[in-house]
Amino acid sequence: MEHELLRIRDEALAALDACHDDDGLEALRLRFLGRKGELTGVLRGIGELQPEQRRKIGEIANQVKTLVEERMTALRTQWQAEQRARSLAAERIDITIPGNHRPCGSLHPLHQVLDDTIAIFTAMGFEVVRGPDIEDDYHNFAALNIPADHPAREMQDTFFVGPEVVLRTHTSPVQIRTMESRQPPLQIIVPGSVYRVDDDVTHSPMFMQLEGLMVGSDICFAHLKGVLTSFVHAMYGPNTPVRLRPSYFPFTEPSAELDIGCVICGGRKTGCAVCKGSGWMEILGSGMVHPNVFRAVGYDPEKVSGFAFGLGIDRIAMLRYGIDDIRLLYESDLRFLRQF
């Protein structure tokens, strides 16, 4: 019997050594340890032995059983560890691989500057008003004191859509439309696109303008200077020098262009290439509303006064970001736009 047990032990261990999967392991368990297994079969005959023999054989049988069970448990543990290592290797994530890039858009530099400009003027009490891009001759020219023989009407400056119909050459017709429909006091800004037959590094056939108009019973030139100086200081910094220079526009009298100290060279006396050596850069046109404009909309120029100004958003943006070619703003080149 002892030999039989040792034979079972050796066979079981040899079989386990050759076993490589759970099914095989279960089959071996049944074959040796199961209710009808070989070891169980030997133990059944143990009752017929003498007590001393019985104890000895029982002891050996238990040792064999424990040994085989331990070997089986060890195999299972080993396989589980190997399986786990395999799946970890298979599911390994390389966190150094770049992720999926989701491109994110942003506001066009013109719109950033437009938003900032609108925010500065609305903070001073101006209201945003808009008007049509296609205008009639009267609102674009005649009502703004631009008579029929004025050079601004020349074919090479204006896009004519039809007889007496144009693409607006400035945002000023919205002044007329607003004053025709409302009574003073008025304090409006008019952002929008305007169109001129012009195309070079500083001119684009379509560009963005912002018009301002303030009308009341006692508006004077000091208000104009105060509002525009506040705008420049908010846009370019509180220490930016400002100067008004006499100019001419048909719809204002007196008229003035507003210069700021060159943002490139800081307005030093010798200037730089951008400000052409002057130390100053022109940023907008302005003036007191011409009495003929008030008459055209039915206001009494003896009772009301006001100022108006117009600035190119493109120019404000070019000076702010140091852009030297206006066409970059309209070409939609992402290599350019991504810099903002």
In the structure encoding, which two tokens stand for residue 181, read together? 């429909």
Return the DSSP state at 290.
P
What 3-state DSSP class applies to 40? helix
Determine the residue type at 189: I
Among 264, 292, 297, 337, binds Zn ion (CB under 5 A): 264
User: Between residues 267 and 310, which has the closer beta carbon with respect to Zn ion?
Assistant: 267
Is residue 265 a contact point for Zn ion (CB under 5 A)?
yes
Determine the residue type at 116: D
- Number of other residues whose CB lies within 10 A of the CB of residue 201: 10
User: Between residues 45 and 277, which has the closer beta carbon with respect to Zn ion?
Assistant: 277
Is residue 272 a contact point for Zn ion (CB under 5 A)?
yes
Among 25, 227, 235, 262, binds Zn ion (CB under 5 A): 262
Among 33, 275, 293, 319, binds Zn ion (CB under 5 A): 275
Calpha distance 9→32 (Å, rounded)? 9
Count of residues near Zn ion by CB under 5 A:
6
Q: How far is the CB of 280 from Zn ion (least distance, A)?
A: 8
Q: How far is the CB of 256 from Zn ion (least distance, A)?
A: 21
Phi, psi torsion values for 102, nearest 5 degrees:
-105, 110
Q: Using an 8 Å Cβ cutoff, are 285 and 247 in contact?
A: yes
Q: Using an 8 Å Cβ cutoff, are 236 and 254 in contact?
A: no
User: Between residues 121 and 236, which has the closer beta carbon with respect to Zn ion?
Assistant: 236
Sole window of 122-130, 137-145, 166-174, 273-281 interacting with Zn ion (rule: CB under 5 A) = 273-281
Is residue 318 a contact point for Zn ion (CB under 5 A)?
no
Residue found under tokens 């009407």: 153
User: Between residues 84 and 268, which has the closer beta carbon with respect to Zn ion?
Assistant: 268
What 3-state DSSP class applies to 133? coil
Q: How far is the CB of 339 from Zn ion (least distance, A)?
A: 22
End-to-end CA distance of the chain: 92
Sole window of 187-195, 222-230, 239-247, 255-263 interacting with Zn ion (rule: CB under 5 A) = 255-263
Q: How far is the CB of 267 from Zn ion (least distance, A)?
A: 7
In this structure, the strands spanning 186-195 and 127-128 are parallel
Is residue 219 a contact point for Zn ion (CB under 5 A)?
no
Sole window of 53-61, 87-95, 164-172, 269-277 interacting with Zn ion (rule: CB under 5 A) = 269-277
Q: How many residues appear in the chain? A: 340
Q: Using an 8 Å Cβ cutoff, are 21 and 58 in contact?
A: no
Is residue 260 a contact point for Zn ion (CB under 5 A)?
no
Calpha distance 25→40 (Å, rounded)? 17
User: Between residues 179 and 281, which has the closer beta carbon with respect to Zn ion?
Assistant: 281
The Cα diameter of the chain in Å comes to: 140
The closest residue (CB) to Zn ion is: 262
Smallest CA-to-CA distance from 323 within 315, 331, 311 is with 315
Sole window of 24-32, 211-219, 259-267, 325-333 interacting with Zn ion (rule: CB under 5 A) = 259-267
Q: How far is the CB of 273 from Zn ion (least distance, A)?
A: 7
Sole window of 98-106, 130-138, 184-192, 275-283 interacting with Zn ion (rule: CB under 5 A) = 275-283
Chain residues binding Zn ion by CB under 5 A are: 262, 264-265, 271-272, 275
